[in-house]
Amino acid sequence: MLREKPFEGALALVLAGKPGPGATFYWLGQAGFVIDIAGKRLVIDPYLSDSLAIKYRGARYPHRRMMPPPIAPAELMGADYVLCTHAHTDHMDPGTLPALFAANPATALIAPRAVRAAALERSGLPETRTRFVDAGETISLGDGLEVIPTRAAHETIERDADGNHRFLGFLIKGQDVTLWHSGDTIPFDGQVEEVSPHRPDIALLPVNGRRQELSSQGVPGNLSLAEAVELTRAIRAPNMIAHHYGLFDFNTIEPELIDSMAQSLDDVRIERARQAIAFEWTLT
C-alpha cells in the first residue's frame, strides 16, 4: 500500500539516516526523486541548481524556478547510485552532479550509453564510477534490487549511430515493490507491452503535456495528464505519482487539475509529487 508520510524540517535532515529495508521516495522537483529501497539510496534526475536560468537568461523562455531546490547538491548524502534518464539539463545537470558526487565519493552514475560523453563531462566522474546502459538490460544492485532501463520517446524514439536509445526510463525492482520512472516520454507503440510484464506497483509519470509552440522551439513535451492516467491503466499499475510540473512557468500544469483528476477516479490511485511529503510503500 502506498501512503503519504509528511515530514517537517529540511530534507537534508530527513535523509541523514540510512535507508531502511522498505521503499520510501522523496520529490526533488521536476522529474527528480530520491528513492530509498532495499537498503540503498537511488537519486533520479536531480536538478538542484539554476543552470537553465543562467543558460537562458533573457531568452523567450528564461527557465526561472517557480520553487526553490529542496536540498543543496552537497547536502544530499548517502546516495549509492545516481540515475539520469537522458541528457537534457533538468535531468543531467552540470550544476548538480559534480557537487553531489564530491559529497558521495563512492556513488556511481547510471546513464544511457547513447549520452556517454555528456554524462562524463557533466558529472566529472572517471569511467570507473559510471555504468552506461540501454533499454532491456538488467542491472543488479545487490540485495535483490534490480534496475531495468526502458525505452522513452521525448517526443520521438531517438537512437545513436550504434542503436542505443537517447531517452530511457527505469524499472526499479525490489523484492516487495516495483517502481517505474518512465523518464520524459509520450505514448508510443510497444510501450505498454514493454512495461506491463514487470507489473509495476507505482508509476512515476510526467504530466506537463506538450504543445507545438514549445516543440517548435526545441522544448519537447511529455504525457498529458489524461495520457498518464491511461498509461497507468494500460500497464495495470494501481498507483501513479504525477511529476514534472511546477518548476518552469511556461511548461507546467496546474496542481489543481491533478487533484481534480485524482478525485474523479476510483480504479487508479493518483497522487502528485509534493515537497515535504514522502511516499512510503508498505505491505498490507
Dist CA 54 CA 115 (whole Å): 23
Q: What is the mean pLDDT of the chain?
A: 97
Would you place residue 68 in the very low, low, confident or very high pLDDT band (cuts 50, 70, 90)?
A: very high
**pLDDT tens-digit map of 39-52:** 999 999 999 999 99
Dist CA 271 CA 274 (whole Å): 9
Coil/strand/helix, residue 153:
coil
Percent pLDDT > 70 in the chain is 100
What class, spelled out in words, does domain 2-281 have in CATH? alpha beta
What mean pLDDT comes out for the span 225-238? 98
Strands (E), the chain: 2-6, 23-29, 32-37, 40-44, 81-83, 108-112, 130-133, 139-142, 145-151, 168-173, 178-181, 202-206, 239-243, 269-272, 277-281
**pLDDT tens-digit map of 82-92:** 999 999 999 99
Would you place residue 225 in the very low, low, confident or very high pLDDT band (cuts 50, 70, 90)?
A: very high
Coil/strand/helix, residue 114:
helix
Give the residue from 24, 137, 154, 131 showing the smallest Cα distance to 83: 131
Can you name the residues that pair with 202 across neighbouring β-strands? Answer: 179, 239
Would you place residue 282 in the very low, low, confident or very high pLDDT band (cuts 50, 70, 90)?
A: confident
Give the residue from 160, 140, 139, 142 showing the smallest Cα distance to 150: 139
pLDDT for 184 equals 98
Would you place residue 55 in the very low, low, confident or very high pLDDT band (cuts 50, 70, 90)?
A: very high
pLDDT for 284 equals 67
**CA–CA–CA angle 47, 48, 53 (5° rounding):** 80
pTM (2 decimals)?
0.97
Where are the domains positioned within the chain?
2-281
Structure-block grid coordinates of residue 258: 491533478
Dist CA 200 CA 107 (whole Å): 26
Give the residue from 149, 105, 157 showing the smallest Cα distance to 131: 149
